[in-house]
Structure 1
Amino acid sequence: MSSPAVTRRAAQKAKIQTRSKATGGVPQRPKSSGGLMEAKRRARQRISNSGKRNSDTQTLRDPYQTTMEAIEVVRGATGLIYDRQMAQHKCLWDENYPECPARLTCILDRCQELKLMDRCLTIDPKTATKEQILLKHTEEHYDTLKGTSRSTDEVALEDLSSHYDAIYIHPTTFELSLLSVGSTVELVNAVAEGTVQNGMAIIRPPGHHAMKAEFNGYCFFNNVAIAAEEVLLRGDIERILIVDWDIHHGQGTQRMFYDDPRVLYFSIHRFEHGAFWPNLRESDFDWVGEGAGRGFNFNLPLNQIGMTDADYLAIFQQVLMPVATEFSPNLVILSAGYDSALGDEKGEMEITPAGYAHLLSPLMSLAGGKIAVILEGGYCLRSLAEGAALTLKTLLGDPCPNIEPLAPPCDSVQETILNCISVQRKYWKSLQIHRTYGLEEVNNINPQRELHQVTTVFKGSTERPEKFDTRNCYPIQDQECVRRNDERLQRLELSTNLRVAPKRVCFVYDEAMAEHKNDFEVHPECPARITKIYERFGEYGTIDRMHRVGSRQATLEELHLVHSPVHVKLMKECVQRKDLEAFGERYNSVYFHNSTWTCATLAAGSVLQVVDEVVNGDSQSGICVVRPPGHHAESDLPHGFCIFNNIAIAAEYAVRNHGLRRVLIVDWDVHHGNGTQHIFENRPDVLYVSLHRYDYGNFFPKGTDGDFSEVGSGAGEGFNVNIPWNRKGMGDAEYTAAFFSIIMPIAYEFNPELVLVSAGFDAAIGDPLGGCKVSPEAYGHFTHWLSSLANGRIIVCLEGGYNVNSISYAMTMCSKALLGDPLPPLCNRELSSSCVETIQNVVSVQQKYWKCLKFTKKLPDFVGGDVGDLSELVRGMKIKDEPCDSDSTNERKGGGAEPQPGPSSSRGDATKDHQSLSDYLAENATALANEEMFAVVPLKNCPHLTLLDPSQAPTEINTFAPCEVCTSAVENWICLHCFRTLCGRYVGEHMLYHHLDTEHPLTLSYSDLSVWCYKCESYIDNPMLYKYKNMAHVCKFGGEEMVWPYGDTQFTLETTK
């Protein structure tokens, strides 16, 4: 049996300063000790004497201040702005042009059909002024479009359009572009000022491709950029997050804020290494911003078609949400293009209409809920209309519809995500979760499947034609493809549950549960735990906004769902005993009262009342303010303040009585829920996830059951996820990292039909037992993130938490989250190293069971903000690195996953002083002595050596020659068959492509003169290679001949100059 957390009189020994009033058991504020008062006085005196009256010492902020400031913050209206006049803009010379009026009308019609418009606050559209346009565009740009206004010369309009890429100009284009900008500005201002909570602008023409002085990609003025600039200039908003999920990179928006740290621009777009429009090098992941804006530009380039909801969710969970939460914007603007949707002929992706709701939902937890959605692209009318309508529905606070079961994220998106994190992690504390590797590890590890290699490939063209096509210049799907997509979209529409429960949140509370108390000593599990929560609900006004359900006692049959009849019988009979104090001491941290049976069955039964209410669809979600808690209770004995396992009974009840097939339990109590884990550890229909303090098995309930290696057993293997903290002090940052790295990805893959939260608040700041620092508002964020699952069916059930202020504020924030109220921002601080270690350990074990956890490869620690930074680093290392083969080269041409030689250095300037061989050996004497430079043993023979023709070899080899394709001088190799110089895997992989094109297998490194065979996938060392190595050696070492290394005679190399 594990050691108790609180035994008899242990509360007093632990200095838990709670004292019960004789009448109600409400804890009293402890008296301050004289020593503490004196220490504070001396500290104040020191501050005064030192004169350091900075912001940190002038004000001591109440840890609940942020939550208290949210007392009157409630959900506002959703704004909607549109103007059907915008349908006048159309292409006069090509009636099939995809950017057509129906794009606007189909969205409005679908929103009207779903009765969404009636629920919105309509904002009057407005025309932008010239001054507003000039915030981001030149006057010449403005005048050029103005000159087309009301023009009847169709030939001239088409000719002008042909000077721009993917543009047509209509006689109304100028006025409607001003209306589009003005409407965007109106909505963004309304959201920023708080006139509405959030909103959507259904507008056209779109804007995110429009550049400072150039029309581009159906866009004339950059709606989003102008609106963002105006609100920044007003000074009300300091930080804006722009998320652009249009399938085409919004290069116009990127350029306008590329050096501005006030705007974090995040774009997810099809790229295909530059082969997809707009075919720009700047759309790749390594364009991270410049100057003060460095690190504030994120590109997530998608390099294959067919990306699904799973791929986009992975981007949000692994990159966007961690960074956005750390950035803590005051406003979110969403450039919402729907050309990544299923059926779109341009994007050729497969995002479902409901998928957009799931992408939007987490963004709504940011910026106090201030989010403005601005329409950009989208050309499959059916998916455009449905995707946009479900976006508006989500803004209105409706639950996210269930999406199809998720396939694993594809390998291509894995590469994109890891590339992005590699170049951005130096700027963001939240991106420090991955393990890293250095050049030494590259040299000493083989194979290298778990080492992510950061590479850039660009297949675009920089050539610009004199004129662009204006007709038939767009992809057209074949009719069979259109038919298949339309049938699938129809099936999705029919199967998507758009129902909204009549009551948003229900709750259960019964003051009778306060009768359970410890009559023998002051105890932290006291009646005030629930009475204070109820009192706080009233203070914040959430009681009047929630539906209260009646309480009831659980029946014996219901208790027997998870507890043995012997245990239930004993708990029922024990309350009649005279020796309750002694009887309680038989168990680990349990006390009994004459009312314990009544209260414990009332707690369990009341939770079932909420389960019925939510699963039957009468309420969307629920809150259970119950005690005694339950998650420590085993099937056959009470444990850790718990009599019956309320949450386990609820899960089993949902499965047995309501026929649910998948129930998710998230347990964020600071103590591991040993009882819940044991009850379901062999069950695949109940996924149990626990975040808890563990301290290497020394924290209650102690033992190894709570470690990350405990994954369930039998059919339930993989359905138990423990996230064990091994030190105190974990706070918002650590819990946020765990949610986005582990909990949300696994939860989405599991696809639950009901979410149950074992909501212990003893990890909250100020808790006497937990020792952690989670803010009350953070629990609101956790609740919001989880509420996107299971059609919004989530029940939050009280477990532990022993600071009555902390738990009352925390549960209140959970209730506000379920009610859709804006949430305060989270605390930003660096992740603790212990947290990072825990997350890495959990993912390393759980990735066996959950395909979503595939982002675990080590990242290079020598890649900074740009991949180009590698050049300077490698040059500075001279020639100290030995390459090693790899099995994880990115798949490019021909689908092959061929290994590439490891990083090597070479100097691009042949006029520099040569380093002699003896100098080189002297510098590396230690490495030679330790045999560190000979970790890879080359093959002595190779069947492909017969392909070499020494008679065709050149008379000399220039080891300082640049790559013939990209001109890089960083890591080059020479083909021993045709003698072309090309770069290796850490630059452009051009030698790999050369091999794939020509099948030339043998190549020699200019760095260390090693020879690699692509077909053998190994290094080769054979006397036949001496001629080639010697020529390179002579060039590299200033004319020194290479010593013959292949004879029988042993020789010694000097290691001094």
Structure 2
Amino acid sequence: MDNQIKIKLTTSDLIAARKKEYLETNMKNCKLYDHVQDDFKNARSFIDKKIKQTGIVHDDQFSNHLCIWDSNYPENPQRYESIIKRCNELGLIERCIQIPCRNATNGELLYKHTQEIIDILKSTDNVQETKLLEILSSKFDAVYFHPSTYKQCLLATGSSIELVKAICENKIQNGMAFIRPPGHHAMKSEFCGYCFFNNVAIAAEYVLRHYSVSKILIVDWDVHHGQSTQQMFYDDSRVLYFSIHRYENGEFWPNLRESDWDFTGSGDGQGFNINVPLNSTGMTDTDYLAIFHQILLPVASEFQPDLIMISSGYDAALGCPEGEMEITPACYAHLVNSLLNFGCGRVAVLLEGGYCLKSLAEGAALTLRSLLRDPCPLLDKTGSPCNSIIETIHNVIFAHQKYWKCFQTEVLLSPTYKAVSLYSFNDEPLSVFPTANCYPTQDETKVDEFSVLQHLISETQLLNIKNKVCLSYDLIMDQKHESSESGHPECPGRISAILNMFNTFQLTSRLLILKSREAKESELFLAHSKEHVDEMSNLHKLTLSELSDKEKCYDSVYLTVDTYKVSTLATGCLLQVIDSVINNESSSGVAVIRPPGHHAENDIACGFCIFNSVAIGASYALNKFGLKRIMILDWDIHFGNGTMRAFRSDPRVLYISIHRYQNAKFFPCSEEGSHKATGSDSGEGYTINIPWNKNGMGDAEYISVMHNIILPVAYEFCPELVLVSAGFDAAVGDPLGGCKVTPECYGHLTHCLSSLANGKVILALEGGYNIDAVSYCMTMCTKALLGDPLPPLDLEYPICKHAQNTLKRVVNVQKKYWSCFKPFHYERRNSEF
């Protein structure tokens, strides 16, 4: 790149130029008759939205239904009993609100079933002749009848309705139903696959008929395809059915062609049926997370459901003989957590399958913990998704590109990609079905899975920390260190404005307020030279004229007699938060501090920044607590040159920055902010820059970066602590950033991070110069850490071409370092680089 002449501007020149650009850009998109836009209306509408309790459905009657003639039948009472036992061991049930169980009415059953099939089941009620029950069972695929089956099915369905009713009536935030028998195979006029009435489908239909719910997302991760649920909503655009299931090109039960990726819905429901068929066994957490990151989360973000219902089978869990998959119980907590920021947190989880008692009980219990907003347990580092999953992901995106704008990019899928279905099942259907010994059993050679499972359970750290979020600040930072230039954006008032907004949203009383302190010199030396620290510590001795002269030595920095005190307070407050979080006094934390820090380098102040608080904090955590992996996410609109340089050769710190770049013409005008910069020496690959070369980026672009780059890399890196350089100058209305990210989007980004590092996520205020925007943004982030419902997003998909190009460039550079990028295939065009 040719050397460019850089003209040094005063701060006032810089502000004026940015304001002019912002106004000109927005005026072009404005009509004279437009009303004044309220950018914070959505955030403000959630002022009273606070997380409610979790509901639970359970009843000992769910242990009655069993197979009289086959004691080894996998769908048995021990499934329910093992779950309740494990939940009690973890003290989970007592933390939930008990939802009363009831029987479904005949009218409710008729929502999705014929009267004839209802009557057949009713005819078995209290029938004691075992032979008659077994003969009837032989007429259906993989079911058995017990004298109590009819009543237990009524109870399961009715209780499922009660759970979703309680959620829709705002009596509870979310909930889980420990019910049996399962339901997602029960068809309109046929019993099937251990199922009699479709609990999820009937409950969903009930909600659609009785409440102001117009969009429901049903996620079915049972290892068997829930063909009945698919059939019942196949032409209904109000219900998005998403199923991940073992398929093996049709060779796995229920052996249906309609379970493949190219069955996408019909009529009004086209595009609202998404099948993710698994064509090999042994799928791991890596594979399931890839499905979520590349398919489900983008679609859910675009669909924006009013309610989420999960057909929660645990037969893909490690040790289950039916699924032969290797999903860890802890992974289910992560899957659930990733869905909790949709639908204002309204999530209903209903038990389906799962036939290894150990992994079933653990998976269900950790799912409930996630609903209770306990931190997600750490997973092992993820790796590369298997080739079979990559092909499936591409096939699904290929099939749904025309329906979902989030897929209408060339980021993941080449425009030349062609998909082919390979259905191969040719067996003739049976007219009489076996009634005993008709199910997979645990292969003795798989006994090692049980020892692995037991080790996983015993080694998984389950944290339940009393204080969800801690807060550190000091009003001295808000009263001192003010520029002599009128209208300087980095000004006192930013902190008090945030604290006032916390009070308005009634957050303060819910936070653990930490005592502030100044950072010690030895702590400052973790990221800065002695010369720089000494120079700043002596500022109080200078006259105003001398301070003014010294400012000229720096790029966009002002200095006062209070600079050192305020800057050490900023750093010290962040260190207080780090202590609280790492010592498990708090789950997560927020440091409302100024001045910002991420531009400050080892030996020089820069860009309003004196000491690099986040860089000091990361080094502090590495040294004091012996952490091995820290992720820093810097979403300030300006590239954090100081933080990047502090760790560019250190593989213990993953630095990810989303910033406006403009081909190195946007402050700090450094080519180190390019996508090509990846770190150096042993730290190569641990710097990821996501540079925007155009202004105007909004929620869709930032959410896409989170799903496609940040989360996949973060799960592969497996941080023990996440530090966020939380600048809000990409927010809508900021005079410097020129972007349009909403406060609620920052909340959603924060929630996405909450699944990492055992929930140890810390936000440190950096930039952001529209005080209203900064206040709402930090408030939404804090609400996310508290587990509060977040406003839904209105995402403008597909993301703009400039953003698509940025994502492709980043992946192309980073793919040699991170195996999670293996699914990304596209043709490199020389003109793009």
TM superposition score normalised by structure 2 = 0.96
SS where residue 244 of structure 2 aligns? strand
Deviations 1:932-979 (A, max 9, x none): xxxxxxxxxxxxxxxxxxxxxxxxxxxxxxxxxxxxxxxxxxxxxxxx
**Which residue, out of 43, 46, 49, partners 2:32?**
43
Residue range with higher mean Cα deviation, 714-723 or 230-239: 230-239
Alignment of 1:487-636 (within 5 A): 487-514=451-478, 515-578=480-543, 579-636=546-603
Distance 1:573 1:4 in 2: 30
Distance 1:509 1:228 in 2: 46
Deviations 1:709-743 (A, max 9, x none): 11111100100000111111111100000000000
Q: Answer whether contact 2:321 2:443 (CA < 8 A) is retained.
A: no
Distance 1:501 1:271 in 2: 41
1:788 is matched by which residue type in structure 2? S
Distance 1:9 1:723 in 2: 28
Give the drift of 1:380.
0.1
Distance 1:6 1:120 in 2: 59
Distance 1:255 1:693 in 2: 47
Q: Answer whether contact 1:434 1:856 (CA < 8 A) is retained.
A: no
Distance 1:696 1:159 in 2: 74
Equivalence for 1:459: 424
2:60 is matched by which residue type in structure 1? R
Q: Answer whether contact 2:385 2:823 (CA < 8 A) is retained.
A: no
Equivalence for 1:381: 357
Q: Answer whether contact 1:432 1:836 (CA < 8 A) is retained.
A: no
Residue range with higher mean Cα deviation, 401-410 or 820-829: 401-410
Equivalence for 1:1025: none
SS where residue 538 of structure 2 aligns? helix
Higher relative contact order (CA 8 A, sep 6+): 2
Give the drift of 1:528.
1.2
Distance 2:383 2:670 in 1: 36
Cα distance change of structure 1 residues 535 and 4 upon mapping to structure 2, 3 Å threshold: farther
SS where residue 168 of structure 2 aligns? helix
SS where residue 794 of structure 2 aligns? coil
Q: Answer whether contact 2:15 2:735 (CA < 8 A) is retained.
A: no
Distance 2:7 2:465 in 1: 43
Give the drift of 1:575.
3.5
Q: Answer whether contact 1:259 1:291 (CA < 8 A) is retained.
A: yes
**Which residue, out of 707, 710, 730, partners 1:763?**
730
Equivalence for 1:346: 322
1:516 is matched by which residue type in structure 2? H
Equivalence for 2:131: 155
Equivalence for 2:744: 777
Percent of aligned pairs with the same amino acid: 51
Structure 2 residue 250 is the aligned partner of structure 1 residue 250: no
Aligned residues: 815
1:299 is matched by which residue type in structure 2? N
RMSD: 1.9
Give the drift of 1:68.
0.3
Residue range with higher mean Cα deviation, 429-438 or 668-677: 429-438
1:689 is matched by which residue type in structure 2? I
1:534 is matched by which residue type in structure 2? L
Distance 2:435 2:424 in 1: 24
Cα distance change of structure 1 residues 115 and 438 upon mapping to structure 2, 3 Å threshold: closer
Equivalence for 1:144: 120
Give the drift of 1:699.
1.0
Deviations 1:663-707 (A, max 9, x none): 000000001101111111111000000001111221111131111
Distance 1:738 1:127 in 2: 46
Gaps of 5+ in 1: 18-31, 45-56, 440-451, 860-1057
Q: Answer whether contact 2:754 2:761 (CA < 8 A) is retained.
A: yes
Alignment of 1:200-219 (within 5 A): 200-219=176-195
Q: Answer whether contact 2:114 2:188 (CA < 8 A) is retained.
A: yes
Structure 2 residue 17 is the aligned partner of structure 1 residue 7: no
Give the drift of 1:433.
3.3
TM superposition score normalised by structure 1 = 0.76
**Which residue, out of 253, 260, 284, partners 2:236?**
260
Distance 1:672 1:745 in 2: 22
**Which residue, out of 808, 814, 827, partners 1:846?**
814
Give the drift of 1:63.
0.9
Distance 1:113 1:646 in 2: 41
**Which residue, out of 476, 488, 497, partners 2:441?**
476
Alignment of 1:70-85 (within 5 A): 70-85=46-61
Q: Answer whether contact 2:539 2:560 (CA < 8 A) is retained.
A: no
Equivalence for 2:203: 227
Distance 1:262 1:372 in 2: 17
Cα distance change of structure 1 residues 563 and 159 upon mapping to structure 2, 3 Å threshold: same
Q: Answer whether contact 1:684 1:717 (CA < 8 A) is retained.
A: yes
Deviations 1:572-612 (A, max 9, x none): 12342222122112211000011000001111111111111
1:745 is matched by which residue type in structure 2? P
Structure 2 residue 755 is the aligned partner of structure 1 residue 791: no
Distance 2:10 2:140 in 1: 78
Equivalence for 2:831: none
Give the drift of 1:407.
3.0
Give the drift of 1:437.
5.2
1:491 is matched by which residue type in structure 2? H
Give the drift of 1:156.
1.5
SS where residue 228 of structure 1 aligns? helix
Cα distance change of structure 1 residues 632 and 388 upon mapping to structure 2, 3 Å threshold: same
Deviations 1:261-286 (A, max 9, x none): 10010000000000000000111111
Deviations 1:829-862 (A, max 9, x none): 1211111111111111111100011111249xxx
Equivalence for 2:830: none
Give the drift of 1:480.
4.2
SS where residue 332 of structure 1 aligns? strand
Deviations 1:409-434 (A, max 9, x none): 11111111111111111111111333
SS where residue 571 of structure 1 aligns? helix
Give the drift of 1:520.
3.5
Distance 2:634 2:391 in 1: 32
Cα distance change of structure 1 residues 236 and 2 upon mapping to structure 2, 3 Å threshold: farther
Cα distance change of structure 1 residues 434 and 9 upon mapping to structure 2, 3 Å threshold: closer
Distance 1:215 1:529 in 2: 62
Give the drift of 1:438.
6.0
Structure 2 residue 449 is the aligned partner of structure 1 residue 485: yes
Moved over 4 A (4+): 1-6, 435-439
Structure 2 residue 613 is the aligned partner of structure 1 residue 672: no
Distance 2:152 2:533 in 1: 72
Distance 2:490 2:37 in 1: 28
Equivalence for 1:650: 617
Q: Answer whether contact 1:3 1:700 (CA < 8 A) is retained.
A: no
2:10 is matched by which residue type in structure 1? T
1:827 is matched by which residue type in structure 2? D
Structure 2 residue 278 is the aligned partner of structure 1 residue 283: no
Give the drift of 1:619.
0.7
Give the drift of 1:453.
4.3
Give the drift of 1:477.
1.5
**Which residue, out of 689, 697, 706, partners 1:722?**
689
Q: Answer whether contact 1:308 1:350 (CA < 8 A) is retained.
A: yes
Equivalence for 1:397: 373
Residue range with higher mean Cα deviation, 154-163 or 2-11: 2-11
**Which residue, out of 170, 175, 184, partners 2:146?**
170
State which structure, 1 or 2, has the greater radius of gyration over its C-alpha atoms. Answer: 1
Equivalence for 2:651: 684
Equivalence for 1:837: 805
Alignment of 1:693-732 (within 5 A): 693-732=660-699
Residue range with higher mean Cα deviation, 701-710 or 429-438: 429-438
SS where residue 658 of structure 2 aligns? strand
1:704 is matched by which residue type in structure 2? E
Distance 1:235 1:301 in 2: 33
1:509 is matched by which residue type in structure 2? Y
Structure 2 residue 397 is the aligned partner of structure 1 residue 429: no
Give the drift of 1:519.
2.0
Deviations 1:742-788 (A, max 9, x none): 00000000000000000000000000000101000111111111011
